[in-house]
A and B are shown apart, each in its own frame.
Chain A
Amino acid sequence: MSNHDTHAEEHAHGHPVVSWQIQLGVLLALLFFTFATVLFYNAESWVEHAFEIHLPGWVNIVGAMSIATVKAILVCMFFMGLKYDKALNTFAMLFCLFCVGLFLGFSMIDLDTRDRVEPWRKAEASLGGTGKSLDSPPIDARFDANPSPSVSTGGLSIVEFRRQQKLEEKGSEEAFWSYYYKKHAEHQHSADINNYFAKLGYDHHVELPTANKAVPRHGLTPGLFAAVDPKEAAHDKSADDHSDDSDH
């Protein structure tokens, strides 16, 4: 084995040395798959907007996660050397992944099926609690424990509570929204000039019916560029007309 610059694997005192060609090839493959996963995500968004269809949520998840898995396998096999290593190390990792699977699987089975067998339990065990408030629970004088979260939101969810706080701080709805636009104007601009979907006319306000909505991202809250107050828009079903005047 004197040709240590060829594809052949050399051995350093019995340990395999991975040739630089393989290492570079793996890096290029990894970069390609990174590109592919981003492309897939953007393509998916584009398809949804261009054809106004709604792809099922699993397309997005399965696409991203399977590419990630391929990348992980490449790293494990070549960079971490499992391909050339004792099978024991691979076995340890696989058994660990099996445990991860059990962990995720059983936890999710429970949280997803609390009301399956006896539907009346749905009300009893609402999934993940209410998310409504960060109230201080009433302190029972008999017990001296002091259960107080550092913020009391007075019955509102913390999201709503912060909105009210900011509204109060700004004094009026107008000031509130102008503060918002001012704060995000720069970012919005840079986001839009780099976003070819926006150039194509597919803006990010389009609301799709479920959570798995594929929209190009700008690092900003979607739907907040509407010139109208979202609350009013909710009352007024003709909000779609207004959104054409949106500020961007």
Chain B
Amino acid sequence: MQTTLDADTTPAPAHLANHPTHWRNRGYAHHWKNRDEDFEASKFGMWLFLTTEVLLFAGIFCGYAVFRMLYPDAWSNGSHYLDWRFGAANTVVLLISSWTVASAVRCAQLNKQKWLKINLIITLLCAVLFVFIKLKFEYYVKLGDGKAPGTFFTYAFAENPHEVLWWSLYYVGTGIHALHVLIGASLLGWVLYRSWKYQAYGPTEYLMVENSALYWHLVDLVWIFLFPLLYLIH
């Protein structure tokens, strides 16, 4: 099937035309019959990996659910310590980054090299902004108050003996999520670097963009649930 994309004949810049990393020159692993098989398999592998991530966070969600059931008062108090505005701001940041990274995939598919890079840069900026809000307005302030997990808890004005558990789950949940933000950002940073230097991704070769994007969306998905659980449910 001849499509507009196959018809795309924009030549690679001269210095990259014969570079092995340029997307037009990329091969695929020898044990696959064709490029599509390789692509589909890798994507399926990525989805399997995403299921493992979901189940990893299921541990956090399970802890949250169980302790909310056991100590509803502590959980209600805990939720009131958080300011929904920061949660909502971070949600918006992540949603926008999810959109830009989806656009980045689209740009790679359409060989729009410039917009691919712009979208990736916006995504990375969003990642930085997310972590910044998290650290500056949440962790920093809360830890300063002594609202820390476990024995580091020194907040003198708590009302319920089980509020310590809330903070433990809050830090573990958001901490592991933030770690995933950093991992996802590193993946996208790598994509940006290769795209910048070699134009490594294009219509026939965008697997890495796609899989990094899938990972980033998962980070977004987890936050979509963490936000109401931590900030809105009381």
Q: Does B224 contact A (CB under 8 A)?
A: yes
Known: A128-B70, A162-B158. A212 touches B109 (CB 8 A): no
Residues on the B chain within 8 Å of A18, using CB: 102, 106
Nearest CB to that of A45 among chain B residues? B234
Determine whether the beta carbon of B65 is less than 8 Å from that of A64: no
A74 to B185, CA, bound (A): 22
Residues on the B chain within 8 Å of A220, using CB: 80-81
Determine whether the beta carbon of A89 is less than 8 Å from that of B47: yes
Determine whether the beta carbon of A131 is less than 8 Å from that of B58: no
A211 to B234, CA, bound (A): 7
Nearest CB to that of B218 among chain A residues? A80
- Taking CB atoms and an 8 Å cut-off, the chain B residues in 44-58 that contact chain A are 44, 47-48, 50-51, 54-55, 58
- How far is the CB of B94 from the nearest CB of chain A, in Å? 10
- Taking CB atoms and an 8 Å cut-off, the chain A residues in 132-174 that contact chain B are 132, 134, 149-151, 157-160, 162-163, 165-167
- How far is the CB of A150 from the nearest CB of chain B, in Å? 6
Residues on the B chain within 8 Å of A23, using CB: 99, 102-103, 106
- Taking CB atoms and an 8 Å cut-off, the chain A residues in 87-143 that contact chain B are 88-89, 92-93, 95-97, 99-100, 103-104, 107-108, 111-112, 127-128, 131-132, 134
User: Total interface residues on B, using CB and 8 Å?
Assistant: 84
User: Mask for A203-232, Cβ within 8 A of B = 1, else 0?
Assistant: 000000011111101111111100000000
Residues on the B chain within 8 Å of A149, using CB: 151
A100 to B102, CA, bound (A): 27
Determine whether the beta carbon of B153 is less than 8 Å from that of A158: yes
Q: A-side binding surface: helix, strand, loop or mixed?
A: helix
Residues on the B chain within 8 Å of A60, using CB: 232-234
- How far is the CB of B26 from the nearest CB of chain A, in Å? 13
Determine whether the beta carbon of A183 is less than 8 Å from that of B145: yes
- How far is the CB of A116 from the nearest CB of chain B, in Å? 14
Q: Does A233 contact B (CB under 8 A)?
A: no
Q: Does B190 contact A (CB under 8 A)?
A: no
Known: A103-B58, A134-B151, A217-B83. A210 touches B72 (CB 8 A): yes
- How far is the CB of A92 from the nearest CB of chain B, in Å? 5
Specify which of A100, A150, A163, A212 is in contact with B58 (CB 8 Å cutoff).
A100
Residues on the B chain within 8 Å of A132, using CB: 161
A167 to B72, CA, bound (A): 27
Known: A15-B39, A64-B228. A211 touches B76 (CB 8 A): yes
Extra contacts besides A11-B5, A78-B102 (14): CB < 8 Å: A4-B110, A10-B110, A27-B98, A34-B95, A67-B228, A75-B217, A79-B101, A107-B66, A159-B153, A212-B72, A212-B234, A217-B82, A221-B157, A222-B77
Question: Could you give 21 example pairs across A and B, Cβ below 8 Å?
Answer: A4-B4, A23-B103, A27-B99, A34-B88, A41-B232, A75-B220, A75-B221, A86-B40, A92-B51, A93-B51, A97-B54, A100-B54, A131-B162, A157-B161, A159-B163, A162-B146, A162-B154, A165-B156, A187-B141, A212-B72, A219-B141
